[in-house]
Amino acid sequence: MKINLKKIAVAVMATTMLVSCDAINNANNTQKGAVIGTTAGAVLGGIIGNNVKKKNSALGAVIGGVVGGVAGGVIGKQMDKQAQKIESEIPGAEVTRVGEGIDVVFDENSGVYFDTNKSNINSKSQASLAKLASIFKEYPDTNIIVEGHTDSTGDDTYNMTLSQKRANSVADYLVSQGITRDRLTVYAHGETLPKYDNATPEGRAKNRRVELGIVANEKMKQDAQNQVKQ
């Protein structure tokens, strides 16, 4: 499982230390966590938010849902458990913990993929999505963003439509496995958000992907806030 901080984390922590040093020096341990978490969350959200091409991307949604502070740490611990379970039960999934959420990517080499120019869920994908739905049921206080992506081959309009159909197919299958529709948000991006080089066959294969963002719903956020107050 990847922890998606890298250079951004260094910048976040440096900024946090600069703007919060006085408050931290005069705080107890719980207060220190709140100061650092709140400031880091705001900075991280700003840095990544300004670099996400689409506001409705999975990564943008995950970062946009940052609570910060001690409550954010409570949410993060719950997300750690869910991310570890997804990674252990669906080995083909690329699972990344981001802030207080989870980013999951499936491409043609992993657990959920589509045949060329097709949007139906094949048998291998059904097995992976059924496992995923079972995990989502164990964590009912999370919402799921489902995104469809394509490579750059073919017409832009066609690719956008195809990515929409594929994202819808994934969402519909999760619903068929008992996930309530109100937990799901579906986006189509076509070829507009490549993660890899479309100039190579390997890159195109990876860009033909479904990406999931897993975020805390309002109940989880409120429960975390209540836990902090106790």
What pLDDT digit, counting tens, does each position of 54-110 carry?
445 777 777 776 778 888 999 999 999 999 999 999 988 999 998 899 999 987 777
Q: Are 90 and 131 in contact (CB under 8 A)?
A: yes
Among residues of the chain, what percentage have pLDDT more than 90? 53
pLDDT at 101: 94
Rounded to the nearest integer, the mean pLDDT of the chain is 78
pLDDT at 3: 52
Band of residue 13 on the pLDDT scale cut at 50, 70, 90: very low
Q: Which fold has domain 69-229?
A: 60s Ribosomal Protein L30; Chain: A; (3.30.1330)
What pLDDT digit, counting tens, does each position of 131-177 carry?
999 999 999 999 999 999 999 999 999 999 999 999 999 999 999 99
How far CA 34 is from CA of 70, 106, 192, 220, in Å, comes to 5, 35, 37, 18
Rounded distance between C-alpha atoms, residue 49 and residue 46, angstroms: 5
pLDDT at 46: 34
Band of residue 1 on the pLDDT scale cut at 50, 70, 90: low
Rounded distance between C-alpha atoms, residue 40 and residue 79, angstroms: 18
Rounded distance between C-alpha atoms, residue 207 and residue 204, angstroms: 5
Q: Which range, of 29-33, 87-91, 139-143, 221-225, averages the lowest pLDDT?
A: 29-33
Phi and psi based region of residue 64 (left: phi greater than 0; alpha: psi -120 to 50; beta: remaining): alpha
Band of residue 112 on the pLDDT scale cut at 50, 70, 90: confident
